[in-house]
Amino acid sequence: MRPTAHHKIPFRLSLIVVCLSSFLAVNRSSANPQGVSSQTNILYITIDDLNDWIGCLDGHPQVKTPHIDRLAERGLLFTNAHCVVPACSGSRAAIWSGLLPIHNGVYGNGQKIERTMPDAELLPLDLKKQGYITMGTGKLLHGNSQRMFDEYGPDYDKWMPILPDERTISEKELKDSSPYVRHEIPRLGITMPLNQMPRDRRRGSRTIDSFDWGPIDRPDEEWTDTESADWAVEKLSQKYDKPFMLAVGFYRPHQPLWAPKRFHDMYPPDSVVLPELPTDDLDDLSPTARELARYALTSGAHSTVVENSQWRNAVSAYLACISFVDEQVGKVLDALDCSEYANNTMIVLWSDHGWQLGEKEHWGKFTAWERSTRVPLIIAPKKNATRKGFLPGKRSQKPVSLLDVYPTVIDMLGLKKRSDLDGNSLTPLLADPNTHWPHIALSTVGRGTHTVRVSRWRYIRYFDGSEELYDHQNDPNEWTNRIDDPEQANIAKRLRNAIPEDKSYSHFVRYNHFKAVVPSDGSKLMLYGPKVEMFAESKDVSKEYPNIVKHIGDYLAANPNAPKHLNLN
């Protein structure tokens, strides 16, 4: 069990002690303290499921993120940054390895890089090999993060402050549930789920549901993200004789959308601004796109949220979780500024992907639309060696990818760079945010489904060949699919051709509610489905549906010139 609040020194007092100790240490050892490396350190902050709802990105008019915003004023804010995969495992595998899913094998949460590439040279391992001390805490990889670091602090636990023995639903509670599974937690005086909604996923599960939101009135110290921030503060008060990487992974605003009550109080549900959703928003999309929007793939269904009058409560809770994490980010930034490493530490902050709160009738991530792929990305060089041309507080509107973070870090630290990295160093944009940038931001939503983002346009191609095109200059909410507009045919063609060919697979086939992926090497096709699993790709069900496998195989054998992206209705 984690220590309770009364076992800990209050954070504000501990930070004062840290700052005072650091001040005395710096003054004792003058401008070049013994045991402190003059090389560049890196503070590497990651946030889970945070979309563009931060103040400096103007994603939501009411959000309060003063600490992330002040980091943006210190560094360069990339306003058109996008994830590689809009799901935790795929996104983080790409960022930490520097490789696209077609090279690291991780397309979604159904795969983990420790299994697809057990010997992958992840960023902290690369830095360690080049002389860095590496430390991490919280959610970093979607899997075993400890193996990447010399020292690993508190791990994340999405259910805290609910304790492990309080999370299991009894057989009686499952049997008696109507219309939702009620689970009492007497110690906290609450009944789960807080939102009092029926489940759209895992209906028979005996674990409390993660698609939930609301305040839990417990001290900050009982939450995972507070533990990670406090550990990072402690690490920044210590001495190191080598340059270091300190990676801090925050879990919120990932669901369940719980935070200490005072953050929920900042956003009264009756007054929150909801995302706009035209009633005909899905009418110009393919059946594949509409089903992806409406399936309860990573969260719950929009219809359930609306029918239970929970939309405002959910938006309020998401905003509360953002402000909670922002405060933790602020604690770590304050500790760095109070430390003897304040001037020779670069800072990187990103979120692994976005999150939809009803836009296009979708909740969660793993879609190819803007709210699911757009993320905060801020890079601040160290203070004592300003990069040529860099000016703090600037913005770059160029389309960039989180895949670009790995090569950028290596360049900024002056280290040797691997030749196989798929991303592009962002250092030219740090020197001039408006310089020529010929690159795209590519996101992958399972095998065969890709979206390309450039300065003005978003293009989407689903695995069955259906397409979408959006003009962000005139349609920032992506309400009008322009793919059939003859005036934009050349734009669509150019962006379609920008998608790298995945030579590992010869065909991607939709057949009713199933998706078939046919390897190029002649091995047996993989079948995913029905319905939700068509997109999630968590389990190959080809052995369970031999007739469907035979039907698809027979068609492809009889039609050798069938397109790579195919819909068999």
Average pLDDT, the chain: 92
pLDDT at 204: 85
Q: Give the whole-angstrom CA distance, residue 331 versus residue 248.
A: 12
Least confident of 200-209, 245-254, 271-280, 439-448: 200-209
pLDDT at 144: 81
If DSSP codes are grouped into helix, strand and coil, which group holds residue 185? Answer: strand
Angle between helices 224-236 and 311-338 (to 10 degrees): 10
Q: Is it the case that residue 4 has pLDDT exceeding 80?
A: no
Question: Quick one: CA torsion of 289, 294, 295, 299, rounded to 10 degrees?
Answer: 120
- Section 387-416 average pLDDT: 96
Residue 333: name the closest of 401, 383, 374, 389 by CA: 383
Both tokens of 551, joined, read: 């039907």
Q: Give the whole-angstrom CA distance, residue 88 versus residue 255.
A: 12
Strand pairing report for 213-215 and 257-259: parallel
Evaluate whether 125 touches 141 at the Cβ level (below 8 Å). Answer: no
458-503, pLDDT tens digit by residue?
999 999 999 999 999 999 999 999 999 999 999 999 999 999 989 9
78-100, pLDDT tens digit by residue?
999 999 999 999 999 999 999 99
Q: Give the whole-angstrom CA distance, residue 353 versus residue 457.
A: 19
Q: What would the 3-class secondary structure string for 364-396 be?
A: ECCCCCHHHHECCEEEECCCCCCCCCCCCCEEE
Quickly state the pLDDT bin for 126 (edges 50, 70, 90). Answer: very high
pLDDT at 25: 41
Evaluate whether 226 touches 234 at the Cβ level (below 8 Å). Answer: no
281-340, pLDDT tens digit by residue?
999 999 999 999 999 999 999 999 999 999 999 999 999 999 999 999 999 999 999 999
Write the CB contacts of 242 (distance below 8 Å, at least 6 apart in sequence).
37, 39, 131, 132, 133
Quickly state the pLDDT bin for 107 (edges 50, 70, 90). Answer: very high
Q: Give the whole-angstrom CA distance, residue 485 versus residue 19.
A: 60
Both tokens of 316, joined, read: 């309020």
Q: How many helices (H) and strands (E) does the chain have?
A: 18, 24
Alpha carbon separation from 178 to 190, 213, 309, 348 (Å, rounded): 17, 19, 17, 47
Quote the DSSP letter at residue 507: E
- Section 553-557 average pLDDT: 96
Residue 307: name the closest of 358, 366, 272, 270 by CA: 358
pLDDT at 15: 52
* Total residue count of the chain as it appears in this document: 569
pLDDT at 289: 98
Quickly state the pLDDT bin for 412 (edges 50, 70, 90). Answer: very high
Tokens 């057949």 -> residue: 511
Both tokens of 314, joined, read: 């959910």
Strand pairing report for 183-185 and 345-351: unpaired
- Is domain 39-158+222-441 in CATH 3.40.190.10, yes or no? no
Residue 246: name the closest of 150, 384, 360, 316 by CA: 150
pLDDT at 458: 98
- Given the residues 56, 83, 88, 321, the one annotated as active site: 88
Both tokens of 310, joined, read: 């929970």
With pLDDT > 70 as the criterion, what percentage of the chain qualifies? 93
pTM of the model: 0.93
Question: Quick one: CA torsion of 531, 537, 543, 546, rounded to 10 degrees?
Answer: 50
Instruction: Kindly list the domain boundaries of the chain, sorted by start residue.
Output: 39-158+222-441, 160-209, 505-568
- Given the residues 67, 82, 103, 142, the one annotated as active site: 142
Q: Higher-confidence residue: 144 or 32?
A: 144
pLDDT at 26: 40
Both tokens of 513, joined, read: 């509610």
Quickly state the pLDDT bin for 19 (edges 50, 70, 90). Answer: low
With pLDDT > 90 as the criterion, what percentage of the chain qualifies? 87
Quickly state the pLDDT bin for 177 (edges 50, 70, 90). Answer: confident
Q: Is it the case that residue 32 has pLDDT exceeding 80?
A: no
Evaluate whether 289 touches 360 at the Cβ level (below 8 Å). Answer: no
Is residue 142 flagged as an active site residue? yes
